[in-house]
């Protein structure tokens, strides 16, 4: 099965100042599918219009992250942010529907001194709420273990096995695992067996080379020729997000 690659506009084509301009850049580079993190600073109608003009499909956005200027990076596990989480879930849905996007990454946030028990309860309760709400909108919620060794120190969800346990416990078709090979390699490794074991729970995959988060090439720890062949052999029919930082000003073309 041929893999479907998605350009991550948060990291690629950053010579263009807005996501609206990056849609066209992605299209010009040959991409049919795009994704990005946080675009809540841009007007919904502008995003919708430029996406449609470029003729690309939006396959993923992130949920409302909190206040990025204050270092917040997700709020789903933060009890003190409960009211904001509930209110902004509707904002997230509004953006997803405008962009006809069927996958939303719901970020947990940073450890903040609260107990593990309290954070987990808040997180799981919110994810149950997300799954029920997304079911009504035909959206899949995603949770992603993110490495705390390089990228986001103190991030709450770092363990792939714990993430899958949460998905299993909620047991909803509208909540799945986002498998980022970059983060998984740093925190757990064992990419082959993790993919084989957890494929039924995976709703989206992202890739970047370790350790520099560059292009998925041969300049690092991960053998992407092998990994992509494995995904084809496993008949993975979802998208592969290219969430990497180009080492130059150009990007891979498809």
Segments of 67-197 assigned E as strands: 103-105, 140-143, 175-180
Give DSSP secondary structure letters for 24-71: HHHHHTT-SEEE-S--TTS-HHHHHHHHHHHT-EEEEEEPP-S-GGGT
The residue annotated as part of the active site, out of 35, 57, 72, 243, is: 243
Angstrom distance (rounded) from CA 83 to CA 135: 21
Q: Which residues contact 215 (CB under 8 A, 6 or more apart)?
A: 208, 209, 244, 246, 247, 251, 252
The residue annotated as part of the active site, out of 57, 72, 144, 215, is: 144
9 Cα distance to chain centroid: 12
Bridge partner residues of 34 (DSSP): 7, 58
Active site residue 144: yes
Angstrom distance (rounded) from CA 51 to CA 85: 27
Active site residue 221: no
Helices (H) and strands (E) in the chain, counts: 8, 8
What residues are labeled active site? 144, 243
């Amino acid at each position: 099965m041929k893999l479907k690659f998605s350009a991550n506009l948060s990291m690629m084509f950053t010579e263009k100042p807005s996501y609206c301009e990056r849609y066209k850049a992605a299209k010009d580079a040959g991409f049919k599918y795009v994704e990005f993190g946080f675009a809540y600073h841009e007007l919904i109608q502008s995003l919708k219009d430029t996406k449609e003009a470029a003729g690309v499909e939006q396959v993923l956005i992130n949920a409302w992250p909190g206040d990025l200027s204050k270092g917040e990076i997700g709020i789903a596990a933060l009890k003190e942010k409960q009211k904001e989480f509930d209110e902004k879930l509707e904002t997230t849905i509004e953006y997803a529907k405008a962009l006809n996007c069927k996958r939303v990454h719901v970020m947990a946030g940073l450890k903040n001194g609260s107990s593990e028990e309290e954070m987990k309860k808040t997180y799981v309760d919110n994810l149950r709420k997300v799954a029920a709400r997304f079911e009504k909108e035909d959206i899949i919620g995603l949770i992603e273990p993110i490495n705390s060794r390089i990228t986001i120190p103190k991030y709450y969800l770092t363990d792939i096995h714990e993430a899958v346990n949460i998905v299993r416990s909620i047991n909803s078709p509208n909540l799945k695992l986002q498998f980022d090979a970059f983060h998984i390699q740093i925190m757990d490794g064992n990419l082959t067996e993790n993919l084989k074991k957890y494929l039924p729970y995976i709703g989206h995959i992202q890739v970047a080379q370790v350790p520099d988060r560059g292009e998925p090439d041969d300049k690092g720890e991960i053998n992407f020729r092998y990994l992509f062949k494995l995904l084809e052999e496993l008949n993975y029919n979802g998208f592969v997000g290219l969430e990497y930082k180009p080492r130059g000003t150009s990007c891979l073309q498809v």
